[in-house]
Amino acid sequence: MKIALIAHDKKKKDMIELAKKYQNLLNRHELIATGTTGTLLTKETGLPIACYLSGPLGGDQQIGGEIAQGQVGLVIFLRDPMTPQPHEPDISALIRICDVHNIPVATNLGTASLLLSGLNDKLTKC
């Protein structure tokens, strides 16, 4: 499954810790990410990640296009709800496209952990 990983600046540390915790699971999937997030994750975890543009430069839209084409099965988007984002319309469009195509999307650590734990359990039982 292709999994998209996105994190706002103040959530990148959380994303790195999440990726480390689920590294064995994530290593079994195709990973894509917005630019800075993907670069940091690869540096910190060694996970192979295809990096797209930074979110504000169109990376969210690139991932949204892949979702619309049925190429992404899960999105982890750790959002910072306390900081205004200049590309908020792109963020809303990405979440909307997930809803339109029934793609699970986590916007916080709690939901991300539940989704990844569930995916791990499903793969372990196979």
Q: Is 101 annotated as a binding residue?
A: no
45 is in an annotated binding site: no
Question: Is residue 29 annotated as involved in ligand binding?
Answer: no
Write down the catalytic residue from 60, 80, 99, 121. Answer: 60
Nearest CA to 30 out of 63, 55, 60 is that of: 63
Q: Is 60 a catalytic residue?
A: yes
Q: Is 87 annotated as a binding residue?
A: yes
Annotated binding-site residue? 8 = yes
Cβ atoms within 10 Å of 36's Cβ, excluding its own: 19
* Gap between the Cα atoms of 56 and 92, Å rounded: 13
Answer yes or no: is 39 a known binding residue.
no
Rounded CA separation 6/78 (Å): 6
Residue 20 labeled ligand binder: no
- Residue 37 makes CB contacts below 8 A (sequence gap 6+) with 5, 6, 7, 12, 15
Annotated catalytic residues are 60
Annotation: binding site for substrate: 8, 12, 34-37, 54-55, 87
Annotation: binding site: 8, 12, 34-37, 54-55, 87
